[in-house]
Chain A
Amino acid sequence: MELSVGIMSVVTDMGRNVEDEPEPTWDEAVAALKAATPVEVVRSPREVTVVYRYTDGIFTATSPDVRGFRTTGRSLHETRSLVQQDLSQFLDPAVKVLERFPVPDREIRTSAAGCGWLKAASLPGMIVLSSSGTARTFVSSARASLRRVRAS
């Protein structure tokens, strides 16, 4: 008997629809927050990733952690400052921003070079046109020199 009662209660619970539950209004929620015991929100170390891309002469920054975040600029410096400006208004000061820049391929195929293979290490600070002509790869001089050192 007890077992059957137990089963019935489980079945009844499973049938409860979340959407049928009454939702508090905004005013009720504000009143609940005022009546609640205040608590300080602290942050353990965490970071938000920002990914930079370079396409058609424009730098674009997006983040997989912040939906809807997208910032563009004509230079990397400009884009980075816009990203910092934008995210500082939303993010908690304790959250760090981890920036990821495009890593150039070691060998880049270009139409200009007759489909030949160019070494990225020999292209410091250059923008290489891809075979389609729309996408470009920005090769930072610092990274290229680092590759040169590693290669030697």
Chain B
Amino acid sequence: MPERHLPNSRKRRHAAACRAPCWTINRYSPVVKKVDVAVLIVDESIEAKIRDKHFPLTAEDVRQAVVYGRVISAGWDDNDEHGLRLVVRATTYAGVEFIAYLMPANEGDPEEGTFVLKTAIPKPST
């Protein structure tokens, strides 16, 4: 690969940008306009929390809906406390509408497709 001919100051800035974790760049301007949720990792504690607090929703229902189902809408939420999260609104096969918070498993590469489920809230039935 040919070496880039840049002035020393620009070389230093370029090197610093390469070293900086991408999520810090994404925190201020989420550049990923398209996302593919291919794998959703669900921790046992999160599974228990959803089962106990958000009946009839289960983590498995959320995983199926997010990976295979029709997603109503999604967006990047930049939270000071929790960092960059993907907020997804979808419906389970059983017809329960929910909003799930997902965190990129690899913070440096949100496009990779692997996410960790943080929580999911079902739409209250009226």
B100 CB to nearest chain A CB (Å): 9
B71 x A44 contact (CB < 8 A): no
**B58 CB contacts on chain A under 8 angstroms:** 67
Is there contact, CB below 8 Å, between A69 and B46? no
Which residue of B36, B48, B93, B119 contacts A90 across the interface (Cβ within 8 Å)? B93
Interchain nearest-CB distance for B81 vs A (Å)? 10
* Known contacts A23-B119, A91-B70; A32 and B34 CB within 8 A of each other: no
- Give which listed residue, A19, A26, A65, A95, contacts B45 with CB less than 8 A: A19
Number of interface residues of B (CB under 8 A): 46
A61-94 vs B, CB cutoff 8 Å, 1 = contact: the mask equals 0000111110000000000000000000011110
Q: In the docked arrangement, what's the CA distance between A30 and B75, Å?
A: 11
Q: Provide the main secondary structure of the chain B interface.
A: mixed
Chain A residues, Cβ within 8 Å of B70: 90-93
Q: What CA separation (Å) do A43 and B35 show in the bound complex?
A: 8
Contact across chains for B68 and A92 when beta carbons are under 8 A apart? yes
The chain B residue with its CB closest to the CB of A34 is: B75
Cα A40 to Cα B101 with chains together (Å) = 16
* Interface residue A14 (Cβ < 8 Å from any Cβ of B): no
Would you give the 0/1 interface string for B70-91, flagging 1 where the beta carbon is closer than 8 Å to chain A?
1101111110000000111101
A29 near B75 with CB under 8 A, answer no
Q: Which residues of A contact B78 (CB under 8 A)?
A: 37
Chain A residues with CB under 8 Å of B121's CB are 23-26, 29
Q: Across the interface, do B64 and A65 meet the contact criterion of CB distance under 8 Å?
A: yes
Chain B residues 34 to 50 lying within 8 A of chain A, measured CB to CB, are: 34-38, 43, 45-46, 48-49
Counting CB contacts under 8 A, is A1 at the interface? no
Q: Which of A121-139 contact B (CB under 8 A)?
A: none
- The answer, yes or no, to whether A38 is at the interface (CB within 8 Å) is yes
Whole-angstrom CA separation of A69 from B88 in the bound complex: 23
- Given A38-B75, A40-B74, A65-B68, output 17 extra A-B contacts at Cβ < 8 Å: A18-B46, A29-B101, A36-B87, A39-B30, A39-B86, A40-B33, A40-B35, A41-B37, A42-B34, A42-B35, A46-B38, A67-B64, A69-B93, A90-B69, A90-B93, A92-B69, A95-B68
Q: Which residues of B contact A (CB under 8 A)?
A: 30, 32-38, 43, 45-46, 48-49, 52-53, 58, 60-61, 64-65, 67-71, 73-78, 86-89, 91, 93-94, 99, 101, 113, 119, 121-124
Residue positions of A touching B, CB distance < 8 A:
18-19, 23-26, 29-30, 32-33, 35-44, 46, 48, 65-69, 90-93, 95
Q: List 5 A-B contacts (CB under 8 A).
A: A37-B75, A37-B76, A39-B76, A39-B86, A91-B68
